Amino acid sequence: QVQLVESGGGLVQAGDSLRLACAASGFTFSNYAMRWYRQVLGKERERVASIYSDSDTRYADSVKGRFTISRDNAKNTVYLQMANLKPEDTAVYYCNVPVRGLWGQGTQVTVSS
**Model confidence over 47-71: pLDDT tens digits?**
999 999 989 999 999 999 999 999 9
Strands 67-72 and 77-82: what pairing?
Answer: antiparallel
Q: What angle do CA 74, 75, 80 make, to 5 degrees?
A: 115
pLDDT tier, 12 (very low <50, low <70, confident <90, very high otherwise): very high
pLDDT grade for 1, boundaries at 50, 70 and 90:
confident
Query: d(Cα 6, Cα 103) in Å, to the nearest integer?
Result: 10
Say how far residue 20 (Cα) sits from the centre of its chain: 6
- Beta-carbon contacts of 101 under 8 Å, excluding residues fewer than 6 positions away, are none
Say if residues 77 and 23 touch (Cβ distance below 8 Å): yes
